[in-house]
Amino acid sequence: MSFAKIYTRGLLGLHAPLIEVEVHVSQGLPSLTIVGLAEAAVRESKDRVRSAIINSGFQFPTKRLTINLAPADLPKDGSRLDLPIALGILIASGQLPDNITDNFEFIGELALDGHLRPVTGTLTIAMACQLAKHQLLLPQDNAEEAAQLPEFKVFAASHLKQVCDHLANTHKIKATLEPKVNAQKNYKFDLVDVKGQLRPRRALEIAAAGGHSILFKGPPGTGKTLLASRLPSILPPLTAQENLEVASIYSIANTQHSFGQRPFRAPHHTASAIALVGGGSHPKPGEITLAHFGILFLDELPEFDRKVLEVLRQPLESKEIVISRASRQIAFPANFQLVAAMNPCPCGYAFNQDNRCQCTAEAIKRYQNRISGPLLDRIDLHIDVPPLKAQELQDTKPVETSETVRERVIQAYQLQMQRQGYLNQGLTPQQLEVHALLDQTSTKMITLAQQRLNLSARAYHRVLRVARTIADLAQSHEIQSMHLSEALSYRSNET
């Protein structure tokens, strides 16, 4: 047979479109031509494939080889096409039987000696294969990642010769089983480390229960970063589908991540806008996508470039980021929980009782104005974190652990899932009219508060969402005046 077709996958954002590798062997001067919008790493595969085939004990055809990567209008990048190209050449040249790859898809980079090297995006590709009801053959080093999909057959090999023996029924490869993931989560930090700070602890619990964004404000050393780092320990566990979604993102980004753990991303304040939201000539996920279903922690918020912070405004509302290029648009999920921390002034000690601050009123105003009003308006909870006294730090009375708080958070989470199917931070204004009904007293209260605090329509709805979460934590079906009063107190000290 002089023609062969092998199935593989490309990567386009978080999608893995099917690619057909068509190989045709014809008479003529020895040559190898790759067509189909192949980029540099794919075009260079001809040299890797030639050496791998020869070093695996096969003959490289001394004829005219034409390789087409279909569809022709889809850009192909990366080295994952090495293995399907090599198999296509071997089948088209008659060294392997035909019609043996119909239910298989192949990915893998080839070393010059024929060994298979790992590639990125394995889990995304495996999910697409599962939907297509195909089996996947891939490098051994990628097997554990792809096998995280339940009820999906993954065949892992370490050498091109091993793949050929499997296809020729000479020596079959055993399918890799789904790995056992430890359901017990070991959290690095615990709320028991936080001394005092009862109001910030309460706000952190509310943020965890409803998925709300939160801003900690206070002088240096009061525990703002300490509180933020404890948030993952009180969040509900990820569902199986959320686990796979997060793992798929980290597979695309080629970044290490503990399966089953909520992401916690804390970029430095020198990060660029592209690092934060993603991008590049071949768009890759940014920090907000890597924080999907987890936390994005921005410490020293005013030290970030203002233009960098402004790119967060749209993802905070839409929960995704769309990166546009001349040829295509790619959407990345960005359902993250924003946690930020800031000092009140450049030196950090404004409004402190010890009068250490030497900043002028103009300097304080200029520092706080680095954060735009529209961005602050999108943050649900604004919390002051005051300095602690020595007696509070020396207090040895037992405090609530993360496990205790997490139990209450999970109960509130389950109430929201039963009522609307998602967290309160995602409630639309129309849904708030159904799920956040106010009695006459509460209606008067929020009307008066909107006038005095000059709340925007967005802030008004965010107060209602927070009040709904506070009511859920209290296992209350209705929002009572005390729930609304507490929610309003978290907006009364906006910068």
pLDDT tens sequence across 189-207: 899 989 888 999 999 999 9
pLDDT more than 70, % of the chain: 97
The pLDDT of residue 184 is above 70: no
Whether the pLDDT of residue 183 is over 70: the answer is no
What is the pTM assigned to this prediction?
Answer: 0.90
- What is the average per-residue pLDDT within 254-281? 91
Q: 202: number of CA atoms within 13 Å, CB side?
A: 14
Q: If you average pLDDT over residues 78-83, what whole number do you get?
A: 94
Residue 83: the pLDDT is 97
215: β partners = 340, 382
Is 494's pLDDT higher than 70?
no
Mean pLDDT of 276-284: 86
What residues does 298 pair with on adjacent strands?
340
Averaged pLDDT score across all residues of the chain: 91
Residues 209-235: tens digit of each pLDDT: 999 999 999 999 899 999 999 999 999
* Separation of alpha carbons 88 and 78, rounded Å: 18
Average pLDDT of the segment spanning 444-473: 93
Residue 367 pLDDT greater than 60, yes or no: yes
pLDDT digits (tens, 9 = 90+) for 393-442: 888 788 899 999 999 999 999 999 999 999 999 999 999 999 988 888 88
Mean pLDDT, rounded, for 147-159: 91
Percent over 90 (pLDDT), the chain: 72
The dihedral region occupied by 140, where left means phi > 0, alpha psi between -120 and 50, and beta the remainder, is alpha
Mean pLDDT of 353-368: 87
